[in-house]
Amino acid sequence: MPGQTLSGDWLREAAAALHGADVPRAMAEARALLASATGKTASFLFAHPERALTASEQTQADAILIQRIDGAPLGRILGVKEFWSLPFLLSNETLEPRPDTETIVQAALDHAPSAKPSVLDLGTGTGCILLSVLHDLPGTTGVGVDRSLGALRTASANAEALGLQDRVAFMAGDWGAALQSGAADLIISNPPYVATQHGPAPDSATALHDPELALYAGADGLSAYRDILPDLPRLLAPSGVAVLEIGIDQMLQVRALGEQAGLEWIEARPDLAGIPRAVIFRGTANK
């Protein structure tokens, strides 16, 4: 695409190239890429196909188009991913939030034991689950824990960008080990759950760009649940509820681990594909 290309022409050619690379919603993605390269909104680009691209805009747009055609996820290229209708900044140390994880947010909101629960997120990453819950429950406060300092920096930036910085604290830690007993009314967690015995993560185009600490959990994928669940009865406040994300075919094993830890099983919630995705427990000792 030589200099003085019009926006509309670039979009048509880019959409055709993306379509040829089997990228779904090719025109929408082309518009998102050009918006990122030009600093214009997608609706501006839609309304002004006659605008000529500057040389640097075109160089940048061509470069990120090639990355997308080569399989880099859109969120990684743009450095931001929409989750729960909110924008979340990504970094090399964070998992790209998955749409399935919105099941955890909905389950947490539905099972919140009070209107203003104190919330604890174990393995917060971008902070997407915790910040979405705080966004929807005004006046609620929360703590996000992660072992990755880079992830904690990104989560803090997201809290600032969403105006939630006064209601949230982020801390480094190994799950809830450093937290005091009865720390939260509502505990949420999307721990790593990919089994190393099955090789690389299943959605490998996205997973290739995710940090290993966020994905893998021992040979059977359950090691993080074995670490987290036994500590939940201690961490939960009276009548507290825990909502955890699980992988495919992990419901029975995670339920058993939770019950062995002394938690009361409430239910499992399916994701949009009908796969059990969230498991919900109550801390029985505190009923």
Distance of CA 93 to the CA centre of its chain: 12
Q: Is 278 in the site for ligand SAM (CB under 6 A)?
A: no
Residues 57-96, mask of contacts with ligand SAM (x by CB under 6 A): --------------------------------------x-
Return the range that interacts with ligand SAM (CB under 6 A); candidates 51-59, 122-130, 229-237, 269-277.
Answer: 122-130
Per the listing, tokens 């140390």 go with: 93
Please tell me the number of Cα atoms within 13 Å of 181 on its side-chain side: 7
How many residues in total does the chain contain? 287
The SS3 assignment for 147 reads coil
Cβ closer to ligand SAM: 3 or 99?
99
Q: Is 103 in the site for ligand SAM (CB under 6 A)?
A: no
Q: 229, 261 in Cβ contact below 8 A?
A: yes
- Backbone phi and psi for residue 91, each to the nearest 5 degrees, phi listed first: -145, 175
Q: Is 190 in the site for ligand SAM (CB under 6 A)?
A: yes
Q: Letter for the amino acid at 103?
A: T
Cβ closer to ligand SAM: 68 or 81?
81
Q: Is 174 in the site for ligand SAM (CB under 6 A)?
A: yes
Residue among 29, 57, 102, 146 that touches ligand SAM (CB under 6 A): 146
Binding residues for ligand SAM, rule CB under 6 A, total 21
Minimum distance between the CB of residue 95 and ligand SAM, rounded to whole angstroms? Answer: 4
DSSP string computed for 170-182: EEE-STTTTSPTT
Indicate the burial class of 122 (C-beta count within 10 angstroms; 0-12, 13-18, 19 or more).
Answer: buried
Residues at the site binding ligand SAM, with contacts judged by CB under 6 A: 95, 97, 101, 123-126, 128-129, 145-148, 151, 174-175, 190-192, 213-214
